[in-house]
Structure 1
């Protein structure tokens, strides 16, 4: 991975959120690339339950300040950064008072999905791309983890399809076991098509459940990693039906070698 530039986009990441499959692999994959001479950038949402003082987050004024249009609304983008000390890895946080100030990630205190999770996902996808554009950093690989990041491949390939910075970037999506029950807002598809994205290839989002979100992410990716032992069968079957590389599940101990080989021989070939 020496010299390769990899952008990691994740909905969760340790040590900022509790450890689970997504947050742990969102840390381990960049650590592996970083320790093998690759260049990395990591992006995640700045949820309100992340302790800014303890993790020493601070705003980057030169990257903040623009507004992103979400369903005809101007939503201010704030960028914060922090470092994971033991690895010397910098993390960029996508923030907005309306979407990410609340003291929770995906669910309210009653365990229900936040009603605006669809808008948060759109804002996150646009926020990541716009910030990377400001950094003028062209990644060789964009590796997506977690369902709140699942619109990133779609927006890169459709909304930002004429952006030369990403013309040669390859997108990898890691698919995990089921992330939530139920569906996002019934108007999710309408909000995405507002951005000029055709309904033709995202018709699954008429029913925006976990499996359908991941199917859209897989369709717009160049390669797929089955990151859990029990990936939902409709998603894994869909990934295997497409003419693109799929890395089957490997144990945690095998991850470093398997991911490095997959990047080099299947994604960047």
Structure 2
């Protein structure tokens, strides 16, 4: 299969927590099983460039629709310890990813809404048609929403989405500005309990909820954690949404890279 990972982290280049380790380790594991795997990431100014080999231009003229116009982006390609990665760099006065940090900005919801839009636009414009798009956490929760509401009408109707939730606590909360920026636009449609409307705040959109509702398959880091998220407060308000989508939700135990975490090689 041809699999594209869309994520905000990939160790060791971009690592704030365990998400980065999983994205890299899973990608390498899938490649070793014979699959073709590529990773799409933001091009942060503060990432570890010393772990990227042969970084080069891959797509110079990517124009990403945003509000009523478009933002020009450059896409770079490089190898991270044998894994092909694409890095999206927007050229905008917003400086989405040139802030010396990965997270913690007041407009994180818009930064990663843009990244999600840009990742899909790159796949669409470059004629990449993966069998599976694998998204991770709230930062890419809007990818399946936009794929199935927008891009499937333009030749991307065969792609399937796996959505992995590593941390239920951070869900990505936005408002009407998210809809108008990305082109989803229809407030009454998306501000609906069965779509993106937050379960606690009816005037807010929940990116993670959108990822759950729109993805073909949803998983989390272990079977026990899946049960906790479904039945206890560990789901941080998403338990009912998981219940409504229980037929496509499961827990898959995270593995480890035995080469990296090998005490005989420390």
Normalised to the residue count of structure 1, the TM-score between the two structures is 0.77
Judging changes above 3 Å, is the alpha-carbon distance between structure 1 residues 119 and 19 closer, same or farther for their aligned structure 2 residues?
closer
Q: Is the 8 A contact 1:80 1:94 kept in 2?
A: yes
Alignment of 1:23-172 (within 5 A): 23-52=20-49, 55-56=52-53, 58-60=55-57, 63-85=59-81, 88-97=82-91, 98-107=95-104, 114-164=105-155, 166-172=156-162
CA RMSD of aligned residues (A): 2.7
Judging changes above 3 Å, is the alpha-carbon distance between structure 1 residues 237 and 251 closer, same or farther for their aligned structure 2 residues?
farther
Residue 207 (structure 2) pairs with residue 213 (structure 1): yes
Structure 2 alignment gaps of length 5 or more: 258-266
Give 1:173's aligned residue: 163
SS at match of 1:96: strand
Aligned equivalents of 1:155, 1:136: Cα separation in 2: 17
Aligned equivalents of 1:184, 1:196: Cα separation in 2: 16
Quote how far apart the aligned CAs of 1:163 are.
Answer: 2.5
Quote how far apart the aligned CAs of 1:53 are.
Answer: 5.0
Structure 1 alignment gaps of length 5 or more: 108-113, 255-269
Q: Is the 8 A contact 2:9 2:41 kept in 1?
A: yes
- State the structure with bigger RCO (CA 8 A, min sep 6), 1 or 2: 1
Q: Is the 8 A contact 1:116 1:185 kept in 2?
A: no
Alignment of 1:215-234 (within 5 A): 215-227=209-221, 229=225, 231=229, 232-233=234-235, 234=237
Query: CA offsets, 1:148-181, max 9 Å, x none?
Result: 11111111011212122x3222111001224548
Aligned equivalents of 1:186, 1:243: Cα separation in 2: 27
Aligned equivalents of 1:167, 1:190: Cα separation in 2: 21
Aligned equivalents of 1:57, 1:70: Cα separation in 2: 30
Aligned equivalents of 1:145, 1:187: Cα separation in 2: 23
Q: Which structure shows the higher strand fraction?
A: 2
Normalised to the residue count of structure 2, the TM-score between the two structures is 0.78
Q: Is the 8 A contact 2:114 2:182 kept in 1?
A: no
Where has structure 1 moved over 6 Å in runs of 4 or more?
none
Q: Is the 8 A contact 1:46 1:95 kept in 2?
A: yes
**How many equivalent pairs are there?**
237
Quote how far apart the aligned CAs of 1:206 are.
Answer: 3.1
Q: Is the 8 A contact 1:175 1:226 kept in 2?
A: yes
Quote how far apart the aligned CAs of 1:192 are.
Answer: 5.1
The equivalent position to 1:250 in structure 2, one of 231, 249, 253, is 253
Aligned equivalents of 2:83, 2:70: Cα separation in 1: 31
Judging changes above 3 Å, is the alpha-carbon distance between structure 1 residues 179 and 27 closer, same or farther for their aligned structure 2 residues?
farther
Aligned equivalents of 2:22, 2:169: Cα separation in 1: 15
